Amino acid sequence: MKGFKKGEFKLDLDSFFRLESASSTALATILLFGIIFSVFSVVYLGYVPEWKTDEEHSHMSKLWEDMIELKSKIDKTTIVMMSTPNSSVPKFTTTMILHTGNSKIPFISSTKSTGTLSLNTDLCKMVITPTNENATVINCGTIAYNSNNKDYTDQIFKYENGALILAQKEKAVMKLYPSIRVSEVSSGNYTFFINTVEILGMANTLSSNSDGSIRLKGGSFETLYDSDTSENEGAFLLTVYTDHPDAWEEYFNETMAGAGLVTDEDYALDRIGSNYLTFIFPEKGSANSLRRLYVGKTAINAELGIG
């Protein structure tokens, strides 16, 4: 071919094919990285938030089970002490782990969600005033966990006065009930057995992404009031001071309805402001009456710890 020396055309053709092959390899590499990046983007944006949410939800479930166990231990201790009121009950000590720290997701998240475990930092008090009698005041105390989740909705688990409350956003629900028993012993005559729980111990807060613990020790039980011994029957006023009056209001209405009592006819229940409510039985004009009122108290010493 004119203008080319022998072998030059073959050399240029080989260079062209080598350039073409290198370009194809580079393009294939770019496309491969693009596919990998797209896959990771889909996983990270579509699945990772769901995985994180599921992990925090699982953590909340474990911690709720811990709080149920805590209530169960206190309830069992109360039963033992009530069954032997005139004998010396051995001092008990028990430590239980609260799974306040959750696990991290490998290769996805290197951090754990945090939470706050607190003792006696929240409002909880019950005042019981029988007709023509002095008021009985119980400073109940609280044991609470406040979550600090990154993806799942934050929740508060709180033990107060024998009740276990779940609070989320602006709503609070009493999931496990206190020891308050209402029964009709004869037609129109009702008895109220109220056992209160007082958590003793210095106010303390523990914030950590690892597990915490709580130590319960030195329980005691005493009768605070019994209308059978005071020979005072008539009516009583019960006032509950709490950060969750809506949960207590729902509980009282449900409990009274289960005993066949009607609000504003047989009893009065008023929510006052944002932190307390009052309960009166019987309501004026009610056909039902108070046969007996009994109030007891379990006192438990509590102490927070790590692990």
- Residue 256 above 90 pLDDT? yes
User: What average pLDDT does the segment 2-23 reach?
Assistant: 53
pLDDT at position 265: 95
- By percentage, how much of the chain surpasses pLDDT 90? 52
Among the residue ranges 90-99, 132-141, 190-199, the one predicted with the least confidence is 90-99
pLDDT at position 35: 64
Higher pLDDT, 53 or 143: 143
pLDDT at position 113: 66
- The predicted-structure confidence for 215-239, as pLDDT tens digits, reads as follows 998 778 899 999 988 776 789 999 9
Return the amino acid letter for 12: D
Higher pLDDT, 234 or 254: 254
Higher pLDDT, 14 or 278: 278
**CB 218, CB 108: distance < 8 Å:** no
pLDDT at position 107: 45
Query: 307 pLDDT band (50/70/90 cuts)?
Result: low
CA dist 299 and 115 (Å) reads 27
**Dihedral sign of CA atoms 286, 287, 292, 294 in order:** negative
- The predicted-structure confidence for 167-212, as pLDDT tens digits, reads as follows 998 899 999 999 999 999 999 999 999 999 999 999 999 887 778 8
Tokens of 186: 């004869």
Nearest by Cα to 305 from 218, 219, 204, 209: 204
CA dist 240 and 252 (Å) reads 11
Higher pLDDT, 80 or 144: 144
Return the amino acid letter for 212: G
pLDDT at position 226: 93
- Residue 163 above 60 pLDDT? yes
CA dist 189 and 139 (Å) reads 30
CA dist 106 and 154 (Å) reads 23
Query: 9 pLDDT band (50/70/90 cuts)?
Result: very low
- The predicted-structure confidence for 41-93, as pLDDT tens digits, reads as follows 554 555 455 666 778 878 888 999 999 999 999 998 888 887 776 555 556 78
